């Protein structure tokens, strides 16, 4: 089955927080993920602390065939740019 890397919302009302997870493509948004790959806190005023990704695991899932969503692909680009 196809695996995607996408965001899963876990924050309170008006305080969004997201987990970056690897899930089956057809699974429900709130269902259990195969693996949690990181966190994204868009309301955090510190830009460096907004995105936390486990890049070795993200790269592993992409090599195995997982496809990141558009938003997750942008987060991966930002993380790679900040690492340089």
Q: What is the pLDDT of residues 28-80, one digit of tens each?
A: 777 888 999 999 999 988 878 899 999 999 999 999 999 999 999 999 999 88
Comparing 29 with 21, which gets the higher pLDDT?
21
Locate all alpha helices (DSSP H) within 4-84, ordered by sequence.
Answer: 55-64, 70-83
**CATH level 3 topology of 3-83:** S16 Ribosomal Protein; Chain: A; (3.30.1320)
Return the domain boundaries, the chain. 3-83
Instruction: Please tell me whether residue 76 adopts helix, strand or coil conformation.
Output: helix
How far apart are alpha carbons 72 and 84 in whole angstroms? 19
> Which residues, at least 6 apart from 24, have a Cβ–Cβ distance to it below 8 Å?
1, 2, 3, 4, 34
């Amino acid at each position: 089955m196809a695996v995607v890397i996408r965001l899963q919302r876990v924050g309170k009302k008006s305080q969004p927080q997201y987990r970056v997870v690897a899930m089956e493509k057809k699974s429900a948004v709130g269902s259990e993920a195969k693996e949690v790959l990181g966190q994204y806190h868009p309301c955090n005023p510190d830009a460096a602390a907004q995105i936390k990704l486990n890049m070795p695991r993200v790269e592993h899932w992409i090599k195995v065939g997982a496809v990141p969503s558009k938003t997750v692909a942008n987060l991966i680009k930002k993380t790679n740019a900040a690492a340089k």
